[in-house]
Amino acid sequence: MNIKIKKKLKISDQYNSLVTEYSEENKEFTKNALIDLINENDSTYSPLSLYFIIDNQLTTDDIKINELFDSVIEGTPLNQEIKNLIIYKKALYNADTSDENRLLEILNPIINSNSVWKSHALYLMAEYFFAKDEKLKSKEFFNQIILLENANQDLKIESQKRLNRDLSE
């Protein structure tokens, strides 16, 4: 069996074992082992390990979580759209605690691209500003979604509803 396949199987077995055997008693061990898997830069198991850590709140240290996101985004060989999805998830993770500059900094690689996730990133920013009662900025982002050719159709409809219902003059 080739070396890459053996390595992938080993990482797969480690991940599955950690997830299956996870309990409150071995929380710290699981967290550390999953961080090790993230650092393997495996296109499948590095993101899955990160999501398991977040979903099960194995750490609530936002700085550490953001470092792990960056490790996956920058160090793992991923398809560009998968990378954009992970960037979007990082923005979602940070949306409640970040200021607009930080959120835009995270989302700019998507917003400045033709990614399928662009309308999602714009919608997140539009809702962020709407929640902050910054109606003009919110309206600008909703309008960008409406004008976007390859926008997610559901988001386009929701943006139009929001503009008509809450942001019309």
Q: Are residues 83 and 121 in the same domain?
A: no
Query: End of a domain among 98, 125, 140?
Result: 98
Q: Of 40, 69, 98, which closes a domain?
A: 98
Q: How far apart are the first and last CA of the chain?
A: 66
CA triple 49-52-54, angle to 5 deg? 110
Q: How far is CA 126 from CA 77, 89, 94, in A?
A: 30, 16, 15
The Cα–Cα gap between 15 and 17 comes to 5
Q: Do 7 and 60 have their domain in common?
A: yes
The number of domains in the chain is 2
Among residues 40, 72, 98, the one where a domain terminates is 98
| Whether 89 and 24 share a structural domain | yes
Cα separation, 86 vs 69, in Å, equals 8
Query: pLDDT value at position 4?
Result: 86
| pTM, to two decimals | 0.94
Same-domain status, 17 and 44? yes
Cβ atoms 31, 61 nearer than 8 A = no
Q: Looking at the structure, do residues 9 and 67 belong to the same domain, yes or no?
A: yes
Residue 76 lies in a domain: yes
Q: What is the mean pLDDT of each run of 10 residues along the chain (169 residues)?
A: 88 97 96 98 97 97 97 97 98 96 97 97 97 96 95 96 89
Domain enclosing residue 69, as ranges: 1-98
CA 80 to each of CA 87, 90, 113: distance values in angstroms, whole numbers, following the listed order: 10, 15, 11
The whole-angstrom separation of Cα 125 and Cα 158 is 14
